Amino acid sequence: MRLIGLTGSIGSGKSTVAQRLRALGVTVLDADEYAREGALVLKSEICQAFPEACAGGEVNRAALGRLVFSDPAARRRLEALLHPYVRRRMQEETEKARQAGHRLVVQDIPLLFEAGREADFAGVLVVAAPTALRKARVMARSGLSEAEFEARDRSQLPQEEKVRRATWVIWNDADLDTLHKRVEAWYREVAG
């Protein structure tokens, strides 16, 4: 089984690429999905560490996001809680795919390079797009302000560094049909 890492900066279109890979029959495991799951499983620990982001024992994801993307120390505390859970879940699901005979598994991990995970994969696919386009996408879909986008973007490794460290890069700087064709070409190359 070939294990590939998928990453990209905020607003790059990584989720769209993951969705297209799923449509092509690829097993794609989403770290953000497991982080949301982990936030529920670990909510008491999160509320203990971040009481200002909780009300009635429930995590307010928007408040937690504002906090951790404006305070690097808070982000590291949250990552210390969530990353072990996410990594364990990804390993469990990867093993299930291996046992089921899947030839290719993609782990979609937004902070793949930041977490030092590139050596865990046969290769890393980076989805990249011009910063102005990424900002416009994020502001349109999520309602984040320009300052909030910039804080989140600065909290990640610069896109140029991700591209430099990538095994493969898919540029998402055109229309959806073009992106799909680029994903399909990458898939044909990798799946052989």
16 is in an annotated binding site: yes
Please indicate if the annotation marks 15 as binding a ligand. Answer: yes
Q: Tell me the backbone φ, ψ of residue 106, rounded to 5 degrees.
A: -115, 125
Per DSSP, helices labelled H in 50-175 are 61-70, 72-99, 131-142, 146-154, 159-165
Pairing of strands 27-30, 104-108: parallel
27 annotated among ligand-binding-site residues = no
Does 57 belong to an annotated binding site? Answer: no
User: Is 44 within any annotated ligand binding site?
Assistant: no
Which residues touch 145 (CB under 8 Å, ≥6 apart)? Answer: 139
Binding residues for ATP: 11-16
Binding residues: 11-16
